[in-house]
A and B are shown apart, each in its own frame.
Chain A
Amino acid sequence: MIHPNFEDLSSFIDKELPDWKLKEIEEHIEICPICRERLEDLLLIDQGVRASYKEFDTQTFTIEVLEKIRPKPVRRRSFRLRLATIGLAVSLIFGASFGIVRSKYRENLDREKQLLISQHNIVSSGDMGVIFISDR
């Protein structure tokens, strides 16, 4: 009597053998207690592996997945806040423009004043357009 080897018994459980071989092993097992016992051991192991499948409570799992796939809500600013932001931006732009224009005007004024001093022999000048002419 030739006993099927371990690999054949394993493939026999999985029905991954040609039909003739499956039949041959099946017939052998019926008459061979040793191989029957080996086969039972393997089936017991498979049964235990199957039993290690767990039924998890997946309710929280599903909720977490759904939370993660949802696009993050975009924060909408209130009308007042938007108005205030626009007002601030306009003020800044206006203020900056005014500052630039003013400084340009002053530069021009200073240049003209210098020109006047050099042309008319003026020794000094004061604010508010008052000029002092020297006695020379």
Chain B
Amino acid sequence: MYKVGNYKEQDDTTLIRLAQRGDEKAFEEIVNRYSNRIINLAVKIMGSTDDGWDIAQEVFISIWKNIRSFDSSKTLYPWIRKITVNACYEELRKRGRRVESSLDDVEDGEPSIDIPDDKYSPEDAFDKIELNEVIEKALETLPEHYRITLWLRVVENLTYEEIAETLNINIGTVKSRINMARKLMRDRLKYYLEVKDDPS
């Protein structure tokens, strides 16, 4: 048995093996290590901090219950991330919101999508809020399938292939979603970007 202080120094593989033998302290270290990333991811998909926290909690409980089935030779975080994405989509599905994860829902040259703009007003935002907050607000108004794809690329730093695997979509769809997400973000931030280039 490890001393409490030593769990932090262990790699994921060791922690998983310990947790598989019922070591709660090892599992606690796993939660500490990944909870912030998982909460951020869940919050971004769900579009709500409270929902994101609840889902993240369910994810870790489910990981504890299923930890014995996890192949400890594999990397832990992608497994947790996939469980999180699935749990969020499942919850959104239950709530009857449209979740687009099929292979053919987004194609290149997809017509621009009409997104409600009520949450975001560039003029107001620019006057009152810092740049990053404006961008965060614009990100929140993206449809969830664009938001999550862009998030996985930019924040989680996944390749298109890894995103495709995580979301069960093909690489072409990943690419077009990222392009569309960036286009929508650029359009939303047009006012700010122009002002930035021409401060006079």
Q: Is B75 an interface residue (CB 8 A)?
A: no
Interface residue tally of chain B, by bracket?
35 or more
B20 → chain A closest CB, angstroms: 14
Q: Is A62 an interface residue (CB 8 A)?
A: yes
**Contacts A45-B186, A49-B135; is A69 near B178 (CB within 8 Å)?**
no
Q: Which residues of B contact A69 (CB under 8 A)?
A: 24, 27, 61, 64-65
Q: Which residues of B contact A66 (CB under 8 A)?
A: 24, 27-28, 31
Q: Is A20 an interface residue (CB 8 A)?
A: no
A13 → chain B closest CB, angstroms: 8
- Interface 1/0 per residue, B143-168 and A, CB below 8 Å: 00000001101110001100000000
User: How far does the alpha carbon of A16 sit from the alpha carbon of B31 in the complex, in Å?
Assistant: 32
Q: Is A44 an interface residue (CB 8 A)?
A: yes
Among A8-43, those with CB < 8 Å from B are 10-11, 14, 16, 37, 41-42
Q: Is A134 an interface residue (CB 8 A)?
A: no
A34 → chain B closest CB, angstroms: 11
Q: Is the CB of B56 within 8 A of A49?
A: no
User: How far does the alpha carbon of A68 sit from the alpha carbon of B155 in the complex, in Å?
Assistant: 30
Q: Is B60 an interface residue (CB 8 A)?
A: yes
Q: Is the CB of B154 within 8 A of A50?
A: yes
The stretch from A53-61, A112-120, A121-129 touching chain B is A53-61
Q: Which residues of B contact A52 (CB under 8 A)?
A: 44, 132, 135-136, 139, 155
Q: Is the CB of A6 within 8 A of B183?
A: yes
Q: Which residues of B contact A68 (CB under 8 A)?
A: 57, 61
User: How far does the alpha carbon of A56 sit from the alpha carbon of B36 in the complex, in Å?
Assistant: 6
Among B56-70, those with CB < 8 Å from A are 56-57, 60-61, 64-65
B108 → chain A closest CB, angstroms: 8
**Contacts A6-B179, A66-B28, A68-B57; is A14 near B197 (CB within 8 Å)?**
no
Q: Which of A41, A51, A58 contacts B193 (CB 8 A)?
A: A41
User: How far does the alpha carbon of A128 sit from the alpha carbon of B17 in the complex, in Å?
Assistant: 82
Q: Which residues of A contact B159 (CB under 8 A)?
A: 14, 16
Chain A residue at smallest Cβ distance from B57: A65
Which A residues fall within an 8 A CB radius of B?
6-7, 10-11, 14, 16, 37, 41-42, 44-56, 58, 61-62, 64-66, 68-70
Which B residues fall within an 8 A CB radius of A?
24, 27-28, 31-32, 35-36, 39-40, 43-44, 53, 56-57, 60-61, 64-65, 108, 131-132, 134-136, 139, 150-151, 153-155, 159-160, 175, 178-179, 182-183, 185-186, 189, 193, 196-197
